Amino acid sequence: MKPRLRIGTRGSALALAQTGLIAAALERAGAEIETVVVSTPGDRSSAPIAEIGVGVFTSALRDALAANEIDVAVHSYKDLPTAPDPRLVLAAVPPREDPRDALCARDNLTLGELPVGSTVGTGSPRRAAQLEALGLGLSVVPLRGNVDTRLGKVTSGELDAVVLARAGLARLGRLDEISETLDPLQMLPAPAQGALAVECRIDDVDVEHLIRSTLDDEASRAAVTAERAMLARLEAGCSAPVGALADVVEDLDDEGRTVLRLSLRGVAATPHGDMLRASAIGNTTAAEQLGRAVAEELLDLGAAVLSGPGE
């Protein structure tokens, strides 16, 4: 008998596209899938993310999962609070999309081509802090809304450009709207940007096994584990001005053999707008320790222990 799973998702076009990828993979594995749209406080509010609070896009999904109204929840991993939910288990981190940020600008301009004073929209303090630190003389303005709303402000002429996650545009089939994919040397993405988190109830062992065996990607899980461990040590919510990017890279061990290691870069903005940077490399099996080590280096450099609400 085929397992029947109710997958919970937000109702935005991006959330539905992401959930569709998960549903298709589980259907190929033999499951029957029903998609259930769950409205979240973040979807119902136009207030800045920093005012709404941690888990604004995820708490309703998690509550529906714990209440047995759905069997699986699909999240943009960067939206999840860093504290675990004891009712649930992270069953899978599927292969990650390109985690970089993308500029969508009028006339297909790149960041360096935008004239001084150009208005660039973003709802992320992390992006705003890094844009301002580049010293390009841009006017960074707050922005909320779905992808269509944000891109529409550029096409209407209200803004000169917006910065969005490249992964979201890829999942929506809108990569042709990108004028420049931003190098992480210019702008480190949000911890876990481009990754999905697939959760189920902690006691639902069969469902967890099906999801993990079908969807989980070891390298993606290791990378985002390191990034979020850094975020957690800084006590920063996912709207705080913190960026991180981990990559699985080839390295040589003491005997000259090629091994895979995890490289992590992190950035944190101080209240005065200074950008503090740190990096480290470690074993893929020690992702959490690596994340904490980079956070400690940032704290030693002068980063304040942050307290920011979720995106």
Q: Which segments within 176-304 are labelled E, that is strand?
A: 180-181, 196-201, 242-252, 258-269, 275-283
Within the chain, how many helices (H) and strands (E) appear? 10, 13
Cα gap 77→67, rounded to integer Å: 21
For residue 259, which phi and psi values (nearest 5 degrees)? Answer: -135, 160
Cα gap 290→177, rounded to integer Å: 36
Cα gap 15→225, rounded to integer Å: 22
Nearest to 65 by CA among 88, 97, 96: 88
43, 63, 79, 101: the active-site residue = 79
Angle at 143 between CA 137 and CA 144, to 5 degrees: 165
Active-site residue 254, yes or no?
A: no
> Helix (H, G, I), strand (E, B), or coil: what is residue 301?
helix
For residue 76, which phi and psi values (nearest 5 degrees)? Answer: -70, 120
Q: Per the structure block, which two tokens stand in for 307? A: 């307290």
Give the Å distances, CA to CA, from 188 to 21, 32, 41, 232, 254: 26, 39, 28, 17, 31
Nearest to 286 by CA among 246, 235, 231, 226: 226
What pairs with residue 252 in β-bridges?
258
Q: Which residues are catalytic?
A: 79
